[in-house]
Structure 1
Amino acid sequence: MSDVNAEECRSGGGADDFFGLRVASIFIILVGSSSGALFPVLARRSSWLHVPKGVFDFAKYFGSGVIIATAFIHLLSPALDALSSQCLAPAWSEYPYALALCLLSIFSIFIIELIAFRWGTSKLKKIGVQHDPHGHNLGGHAAHGPESAFDTSTGAVAAAGVSIPRLTDDKSQTSASSHDLEEAKHNLDNTVLANPLAQVIGIAILEFGVALHSTLIGLTLAVDPDFKVLFTVLIFHQTFEGLGIGTRLAYMRLPAKYNWVPIAGAALYGITTPIGIAVGLGVRTTYNPGTATASIVSGVLDSLSSGILIYTGLVELLAHEFLFNKEMMDGSNMKIAYAVGSMLLGCALMALLGRWA
């Protein structure tokens, strides 16, 4: 091992210059992360802030692209680098551990969601609600909770995953209309109430992967020699990522007693990177991200997080938002192009940020 590599691998502190700016970065990134995550949640609930649906659609698809690029460029690639570091024992280079851990994470998340999905479906069957595993409306996903729309012109309630009769104006059905509509609303309420755990599990999985990543990059920022470049990039990185998380949280449909969950999720995302920075500054005299221990910890956590976001991005976002979404499949070519373009823009910008962070 060369003298340069030996210096990089030794225990001890990282860079300690720009200390005042590093402290200020805690609060600057806190504002950026929290704003990106909380704005979609609060805007969708606001009665006075009328945000056009097109803005939410853009944020939703843009955020999907951000999450997918984060998985590959900002998590899996650094994990491969960390677990192939020259500071590690030779045994670490004998097997692609980063890819194996990513694969393990993908199948673990799949099994967790499968169990949650089957549990939710069985609960719906017990209350007599027919469940469509590919039911979608307004970007909803059956395992993460159906959404609904009320059609006042026909008196029909459309609910993802709930089979509801569509009424006509025929006089012969007038007497049954009120009963069918009330039953449809009851089924919808029961569907929402029966599946909150599955929704929370779904968003918790996404939050967990992002939170690990955000904490690690906060630690790195606190002691990185190229602080100014990394700091500038992370402001945009965390804001874009927060926008993606926040839009997903905003579209959760939960019973009233769980209305705090989206806000709590957005706030949790907002504080993860600042916490990482604060911890990094606290241990700056002893923490060096280039040591063998630090490389193993960050490599393993990045690998697991990448699997979480790959599964979420490709299955929950791409497949269920486009391929299994009847609203999208029946939509115009312009709508499809707008959605795909928004997603590719988010992916491209986040991938570009990977050039510096």
Structure 2
Amino acid sequence: MATTTPSLLNHFSISFFLILSIFTPQALSQSNNECTTASSSSCNDKAAALPLKIIAIVTILITSLIGVSAPLFTRSVKALHPDRNLFVVVKSFAAGIILATGFMHVLPDSFDMLSSSCLEDNPWHKFPFTGFVAMLSAIVTLMVDSLATSIYSQKCNTGGGVLIPEAGSVGSQLMRYGVIAMVLELGIVVHSIVIGLSLGASNNTCSIKGLIAALCFHQMFEGMGLGGCILQAEYKLFKKMVMVFFFAVTTPFGIALGIALSNTYKENSPIALISVGLLNASSAGLLIYMALVDLLAADFMGQKLQGSIRLQLKSYVAVLLGAGGMSLLAKWA
């Protein structure tokens, strides 16, 4: 893949995390207008919560590595080669998980935060900011997706000949897979840091125990979806390792950050609710767009699935199972 596409996406990623770094310190600071919650629960035990958080860091790191790395070794397994039908079905299952993550986990969290009674009535209760930001995020993702593809295509032109690579060519497919993998990882990394931060800052042992199991399942299968995209992009070994590393460490990093800031982070303070709520909304828009447009629609409207009704039905079942399983986890996480 040409360096133009990664360069554009890298600039976009740097800008996004620059914004994140501006909002995060404010969200972690105590506020005079802090909204206090009800009486403390018997589950709140800081000393007992710390070992659980350490366990969470280790187990989530391991399951994340397993999930994102597993597809990268499937080339040696004939039945799971990207050209095989089974790979398409597994990828559909993972896409269903990513779709449900956006709709059932990240988006509802944003709605809850930005409609909290801890926020002022004007403007937060007068306008649906979650839907608006998610919509803008989906549009921006489309822009990055489209512009990166166009710039790469123009760089591939030679002398005034072909304007864009042939739609079905190997180069065109690899370019699309590369853009998809990088944009998808950006969205996953953002919401992984946020959920890790929330777990690390919490001292509720009752909720942490359920969250560990839920997040392990979540990270493993979400990692499988990302790993499949990385595999299809056919990156060089170093780039694969970098992308695997960042996916695997973001949630544990968020947990460690939450532990370090557990004395100052107040999840019900207005600034924390606003900044984390807006980040969740933007992440939800990105994940929903990627799952529907670049993963599901691209495969289901592609030649392979269009040529086999039976394979389509299997893939539909896989999508429903993935989305259903992740939706069920919304009861605990």
Q: TM-score scaled to structure 1, two decimals?
A: 0.74
Letter in 2 for 1:322: F
- Rounded to whole Å, the distance in 2 between the matches of 1:132 and 1:339 is 29
Pair 1:67-2:67 in alignment: no
Q: Residue 338 and residue 84 in structure 1: after superposition, are their counterparts in 2 closer, same or farther (change >3 A)?
A: same
Q: Kindly indicate whether residue 326 of structure 2 is the aligned counterpart of residue 350 of structure 1.
A: yes
Identify if the C-alpha distance between structure 1 residues 51 and 27 changes in structure 2 by more than 3 Å, giving closer, same or farther: farther
The equivalent of 2:221 in structure 1 is: 240
Equivalent residue number for residue 79 of structure 1: 110
> Residue 276 of structure 2 corresponds to which residue in structure 1?
298
Q: Does 1:284 align with 2:262?
A: yes
Aligned equivalent of 1:262: 240
Q: Count the aligned residue pairs.
A: 287
Provide the residue aligned with 2:5 in structure 1: none
Give the residue type in structure 1 aligned to 2:183: I
Amino acid at match of 2:181: I
- C-alpha distance in 2, partners of 1:298/1:57? 34
Q: Which residue of 1 aligns with 2:230?
A: 249
Identity %: 30
| Alignment-mate amino acid for residue 105 of structure 2 | H
What is the aligned partner in structure 2 of residue 329 from structure 1? 306
Question: Which structure 2 segments of 5+ residues have no match?
Answer: 1-34
Match runs of 1:207-246 below 5 Å: 207-224=185-202, 225=204, 226-246=207-227
Report whether the alignment pairs 1:97 with 2:129: yes
Question: CA contact under 8 A between 2:97 and 2:222: conserved in structure 1?
Answer: yes
Establish whether residue 23 from structure 1 lines up as the match of residue 4 from structure 2.
Answer: no
SS at match of 1:272: helix
Q: Which has the larger radius of gyration?
A: 1
Cα distance between partner residues in 1 of 2:234 and 2:208: 40
Contact kept, 8 Å, 1:8 with 1:291, in 2: the verdict is no
The one-letter amino acid paired with 2:110 is A
Shift of residue 301 of structure 1?
0.6
Deviation at 1:286, TM superposition (A): 1.6
Partner of 1:7: 37
Secondary structure in 1 matching 2:156 = helix
1:123 is the counterpart of 2:155: yes
Distance 1:35 1:217 in 2: 19
Report how far residue 354 of structure 1 moved.
Answer: 1.0
- 1:120–1:195 CA contact under 8 A, matched in 2: no
Structure 1 residues 120 and 211: alpha-carbon distance in aligned structure 2, compared to 1, 3 A threshold = same
Letter in 1 for 2:154: S
Structure 1, gaps ≥5 residues long: 136-160, 163-187
Distance, in Å, in 1 between the alignment partners of 2:318 and 2:79 is: 17
For 2:285, which of 296, 299, 307 is the aligned residue?
307
Which of 137, 142, 165 matches 1:110? 142
- The more displaced of 30-39 and 202-211 is 202-211
| CA pair 242-64 structure 1, distance change in 2 beyond 3 A | same
1:129 offset after TM fit, Å? 5.6
1:290 aligned counterpart, secondary structure: coil
Question: In structure 2, do the counterparts of structure 1 residues 89 and 31 end up closer, same or farther at CA, with 3 Å as the change threshold?
Answer: same
Q: 1:15 to 1:250 in 2, by over 3 A?
A: farther
Aligned residue in 1 for 2:184: 206
Distance across 2 between alignment mates of 1:240 and 1:200: 20
Q: Which residue of 1 aligns with 2:13?
A: none
The answer as to whether partners of 1:15 and 1:223 remain within 8 angstroms in 2 is: no
Provide the C-alpha distance between the structure 2 equivalents of 1:105 and 1:285, rounded to a whole number of angstroms: 32
Deviations 1:135-158 (A, max 9, x none): 4xxxxxxxxxxxxxxxxxxxxxxx
Partner of residue 138, structure 1: none
| Alpha-carbon spacing, 1:195–1:229, altered in 2? closer, same or farther (3 Å) | closer
| Partner secondary structure for residue 7 of structure 1 | coil
- Return structure 1 stretches of 4+ with deviation > 4 angstroms: 127-133
Per residue, is there more helix in 1 or in 2?
2
Alpha-carbon offset, residue 23 of structure 1 = 1.2
